[in-house]
Each structure stands twice: as structure tokens, then as C-alpha cells.
Amino acid sequence: MRKQIAAANWKMNLTLQQGVELIGNILKNNISLSDQRQTLFAVPFPFLQAAQQAIDAHPHYFIAAQNCHFQKSGAFTGEVSAEMLASIGIRYVIVGHSERREYFSESNQILAEKINRCLENQLKPIFCCGESLAVREAGNQNQYVSTQLHESLFHLTADQVRNFIIAYEPIWAIGTGKTASSAQAQEMHLHIRSVIEKQYSSEIASSVSILYGGSVKANNAREIFGETDVDGGLVGGASLAAEEFSSIIRSLQ
């Protein structure tokens, strides 16, 4: 049975003190989770160890990094390697977020290398994919996302893809005033799962957790997470408020 996951992506927000307080306020709600229901906090690099300490006594809560470099090491001032993250006990890392693709020109090929570095260091990638408004309006979203999967993930073996985490971001529905319906989310999640099934097998496809990353909020999380192929959410702004994100965690099916 694949995992249901509420993943918070803080992006470049909060101070260390605010972040630790936020985690503490969420944990105070004593939300019951299980082996199949998890919460992740993807926090800025300077907060990783403090955040890790904050959730240490709380099973089913984990800390993720928001990025890593595609090289093992070297003269890359200001960058952070997968090995560095592993050395401080981090287990998850976001790879290929739409903002990294747009603002830092990360290609599918670079992301494939990042995935490799993560797996070499026993880090679990949260691989982001998704289309822009122009691609959606042209009706090319399925092919576009398929290409992202093929070029960044499908060099991996079936065992490496087993229990993978993918986050689908409909970029056209984030900050544009347009809204993706739960049915549209399900449609793309089903497509992603079918592409994985064609490449590997139905058993592998059914093991992959696919999160939805399109403006998830407390008032729509339960409906979105209730779709058959939606296994939780990658949550941006709504993850910065304790009660809002706590409600989203409770919406996991």
C-alpha cells in the first residue's frame, strides 16, 4: 500500500525561530499518523538540523531539503550536495520544483543527475513535474509531463522507482487566478501512473505516491486527497500556518 503524504514546502520563508515555533504548534495538535500516513517539512537549508531535532520524538514526521546539487562535490560555492544532506540525517529532498526549473533553468537532464546523487546517498527524492498555462491551453499537458518523467526518471531500475514520490504541479493553477479541479488533478495523476505502468509494471506504478501541488488548502484538501490516484499534497503557502496545515494533514485518506 503506497504512502499518503502531507508535505510542507516552506520555500524561502520564515526565520529559524518562526520555523521551530511553527513545527511545535503543529505537533501540539497530536495528529494521529501511521506507517502509511506521513508528514514532511521541506525547510530552508539553515533550518535543517533544528527542524530535525524538533520532530525527533515524533514518528511519521520527517524533514526534507528543498534542493541539492547534481554533482557529488566540487567548486560550487553556495551549493549543497546530497552527501552533505545525508551526513546530517536528512532522508528526503525535493528535486525539480517548478521554481527551480523556471528561475534556475534546471533541465530534465540535470534533474536526472540530481536523482542519481540522491539515490547514491540513500535520500528519497520528491520529484516534481507539471505543465505551464501555455502547455495546458495547447492541450499538450500529458505529453509534456510524460517527457519530464522519461528524461529524468526512466533511466532508473524498477527497484529504484518502487515507493518513489512524485509531486504533480499544475503551474498554470498556481498564482494565476485559475483553479484546477479535483477531477483535473485525478486525470493527470492517473496519466502519470499509467506512464509508469507502461515503463515498468502495474505493481511498480501502484507503489508510487503521487502528490498534488496546486494550491492545496484546508478547504479543498479533503476533496482533492479523496481522488483515487492522489496520495496527498505538496503544500506551499498554506503550510506556513499551523492550523491550516494541521487541517491538511488530517485530510489524508
Longest dimension (CA), the chain: 49
* Closest to 214 measured CA to CA, from 9, 38, 13: 9
Per the listing, cell 546517498 goes with 121
Nearest to 11, CA basis, from 216, 174, 237, 213: 237
Tell me which residue of 233, 131, 150 sits closest to 196, measured CA to CA.
150
Catalytic residue among 106, 131, 169, 244: 169
Of all helices (H) and strands (E), which one includes residue 76?
Answer: none
Distance between start and end Cα atoms, the chain: 12
Give catalytic status of residue 169 as yes or no.
yes
| Active site (annotated) includes residue 58 | no
In single-letter form, the type of residue at position 108 comes to N
- Cell 515498468 identifies what position? 200
Number of other residues whose CB lies within 10 A of the CB of residue 122: 9
Q: Helix, strand, or coil here: 129?
A: strand
- Determine the Cα–Cα distance for residues 227 and 190; give it in Å rounded to an integer: 10
User: Residues 69, 97, 189, 191: which is the catalytic one?
Assistant: 97
The whole-angstrom separation of Cα 221 and Cα 250 is: 9
Active site residues: 97, 169
